């Protein structure tokens, strides 16, 4: 008979292998949702191109830019709900980074009004699955949410009492895959089209410009006056980042491309550097975006561990769910010797993997899962993003299953999105989270 400790190790190894393969599959399905092999033309080979080789793709939460955007006329007030039963792990209160709501700055773009403006919509159902990290953007005092062919707006000037202003419909772009707000405009992608919309009150969501891309986009990030678009070249399996300079709303000029080859890559931009993770860890200096400079980083980790470990970049930190066992933070990624911090507790991902959530914010890491015994409900475990300390484990009510994403709005307030509503979770007492408001999204 096999000794007990060997038997358990065999079972854990078998389960872990299956979980890892499912996670990679789910991550790739989510990141490349809507990407097909149909084509516009190939890329312009005259542009400067850097070629490197990598593995699976990542999503990043858009940067927050303080600015004022329009207030639509119709307002629907959020209603508070009863506090559900909480299951939590008491822990010391962490030291958190304050996230004050900045004073809004008026940034309006002149209206052209040459075509009808989009109509407000009242959908009876919304599919919130897919690359959700890429479809929420915050530009205080508003939060913008893309789902299917709709964009919704929330007034979050009082974060604990958000007001849903409604959905607007864009039937010409049926699958909005990315969205970000910058300097009074929205940039979003649908298939191989990049769309720029006006946020001025007089012409809300007026189309400023559309740009046909050489790739099917699934990741969008803006830093400074440059826009970075990651996607798949039609008719091939090659992944690229196209770098555009932004000279004004709708005034984009492609500067260069970075080619990842046929293996997907996880990437993020911070402080003029693209951090890329695959079989190797690579730093791409894009301070001069017309001439990207690539060098290999000093992240000495087993490529197989990296391949099957869900990961997220935040600034110059890499957050790994190490083989589904340990949360690990690797910071100071540009340094010769990056700093590694690892959670001591071993955990194995379980539940319904199709609803698995792994998100990183300024102060917190959210590890979302689901439990289905007598009933199904979403469960989230919250960690300190600096030291990987587990802060709380919270089971949400059955009628809010499944939750697709969690967002830190302030150190005390977390937003959770389901298919039907936005839940406002108060974590000021981190050991006892509670839902303090529910904002319906559908009629």
Over residues 26-81, the pLDDT tens digits come to: 444 444 444 433 333 333 334 455 544 433 333 333 333 333 444 443 333 333 33
What's CA 412's distance to the chain center, in Å? 20
User: How many domains is the chain built from?
Assistant: 1
Q: What rounded mean pLDDT belongs to the chain? A: 77
Confidence check: pLDDT of 442 > 50 = yes
pLDDT at 139: 87
d(CA 321, CA 327) in angstroms, rounded, equals 5
Helix (H) or strand (E) holding 327, with range, is: strand 326-331
**Residue 355 pLDDT level (bands cut at 50, 70, 90):** confident
Report the pLDDT value the prediction gives residue 49, as an integer from 0 to 100.
Answer: 53
Taking the C-alpha atoms of residue 142 and residue 213, their distance in angstroms, rounded to an integer, is 28
Q: What is the pTM of this model?
A: 0.76
Flag the least confident range among 57-61, 210-214, 333-337, 359-363: 57-61
- Give percent above pLDDT 70 in the chain: 72
pLDDT digits (tens, 9 = 90+) for 225-261: 999 999 999 888 888 999 999 988 878 999 999 988 8
Q: Residue 376 has what pLDDT?
A: 79
- Please tell me the total number of residues recorded for the chain in this structure: 443
**For 310-322, what is the mean pLDDT?**
89
Which of residues 21 and 174 earns the better pLDDT score?
174
- pLDDT value at position 237? 82
Give the CATH number of the domain where residue 409 resides: 2.130.10.10
Residue 289's pLDDT is what? 92
Per-residue pLDDT band at 19 (split at 50, 70, 90): very low
Q: Give me the residue label for tokens 């992240």.
A: 299
Tell me the per-residue pLDDT of 256-314, one tens digit each, with 9 for 90 and over.
999 888 877 789 999 999 999 877 788 999 999 999 999 988 877 777 777 778 889 99
SS3 call for 422: strand
pLDDT digits (tens, 9 = 90+) for 407-425: 999 999 999 998 899 999 9
Q: Distance between CA atoms of 229 and 211, rounded to whole angstroms? A: 12
Q: How far apart are CA 22 and CA 432, in angstroms?
A: 32
Contacts (Cβ under 8 Å, ≥6 apart) of 183: 65, 67, 107, 249
pLDDT for 24: 42
Neighbour order of strands in the sheet with 293-296: 266-270, 273-277, 281-285, 293-296
Residue 352 is predicted with a pLDDT of 62
User: What would the mean pLDDT of 414-438 be, rounded to a whole number?
Assistant: 95
What's the mean pLDDT in 379-385? 92
Strands 251-261 and 49-51 come out as parallel
357, pLDDT greater than 80:
yes
b/e code 204-221 from CB counts within 10 Å (16+ = b): bbbbbeebebbbbbbbbb
pLDDT at 360: 93
Q: E-strand spans in 213-316?
A: 216-223, 226-232, 239-248, 251-261, 266-270, 273-277, 281-285, 293-296, 311-314
Residue 15 has pLDDT above 70, yes or no: no
Closest CA to 428 of 375, 355, 363, 373: 363
Buried b (16+ CB within 10 A) or exposed e, 92-127: eebebeebebeeeeebbbeeeeeeebbebbebeebe
Residue 8's SS3 state is helix
Place of tokens 């996230």: 99
Lowest average pLDDT, out of 41-45, 128-132, 184-188, 281-285, goes to: 41-45
Mean pLDDT of 185-193: 94
Tell me how far apart the alpha carbons of residues 172 and 35 are, in angstroms, rounded to a whole number: 17
| Residue 82 pLDDT level (bands cut at 50, 70, 90) | very low
- Enclosing domain of residue 292: 4-440
């Amino acid at each position: 008979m096999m000794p007990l400790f060997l038997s358990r190790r065999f079972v854990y190894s078998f389960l872990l292998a299956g979980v890892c393969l499912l996670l990679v599959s789910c991550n790739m399905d989510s990141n490349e949702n809507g990407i097909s092999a149909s084509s516009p033309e190939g890329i312009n080979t005259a542009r400067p191109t850097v070629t490197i080789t990598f593995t699976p793709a990542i999503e990043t939460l858009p940067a927050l830019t303080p600015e004022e955007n329009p207030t639509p006329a119709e307002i629907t007030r959020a209603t508070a709900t009863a506090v559900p039963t909480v299951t939590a792990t008491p822990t010391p209160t962490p030291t958190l980074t304050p996230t004050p709501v900045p004073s809004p700055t008026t940034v309006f773009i002149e209206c052209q009004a040459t075509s009808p403006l989009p109509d407000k919509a009242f959908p009876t159902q919304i599919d919130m699955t897919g690359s959700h990290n890429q479809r929420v953007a915050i530009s205080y005092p508003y939060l913008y949410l893309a789902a299917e062919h709709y964009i919704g707006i929330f007034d979050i000037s009082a974060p604990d009492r958000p007001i849903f202003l409604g959905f607007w419909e864009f039937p010409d772009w049926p699958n909005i895959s990315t969205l970000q707000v910058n300097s009074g405009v929205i940039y979003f992608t649908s298939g191989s089209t990049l769309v720029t919309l006006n946020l001025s009150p007089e012409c809300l969501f007026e189309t400023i410009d559309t740009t046909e891309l050489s790739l099917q986009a699934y990741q969008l990030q803006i830093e400074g006056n440059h826009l970075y678009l990651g996607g798949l070249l039609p008719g091939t399996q090659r992944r690229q980042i196209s770098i555009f300079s932004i000279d004004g709303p709708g005034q984009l000029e492609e500067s260069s491309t970075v080619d990842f080859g046929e293996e997907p890559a996880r990437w993020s931009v911070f402080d003029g550097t693209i951090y890329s993770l695959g079989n190797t860890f690579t730093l791409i200096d894009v301070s001069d975006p017309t001439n990207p400079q690539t060098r290999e980083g000093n992240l000495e980790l087993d490529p197989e561990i990296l391949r099957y470990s869900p990961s997220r970049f935040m600034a110059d930190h890499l957050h790994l769910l190490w083989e589904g066992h340990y949360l690990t933070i690797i910071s100071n990624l540009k340094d010769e010797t990056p700093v590694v911090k690892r959670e001591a507790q071993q955990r194995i991902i379980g539940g319904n993997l199709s609803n698995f959530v792994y998100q990183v914010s300024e102060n917190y890491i959210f590890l979302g899962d689901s439990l289905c015994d007598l009933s199904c409900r979403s469960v989230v475990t919250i960690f300190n993003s600096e030291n990987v300390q587990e802060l709380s484990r919270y089971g949400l009510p059955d009628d809010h299953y499944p939750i697709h994403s969690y967002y830190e709005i302030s150190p005390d307030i977390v937003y959770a999105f389901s298919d039907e509503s936005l839940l406002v979770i108060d974590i000021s007492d981190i050991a006892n989270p509670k839902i303090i408001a529910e904002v319906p999204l559908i009629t």
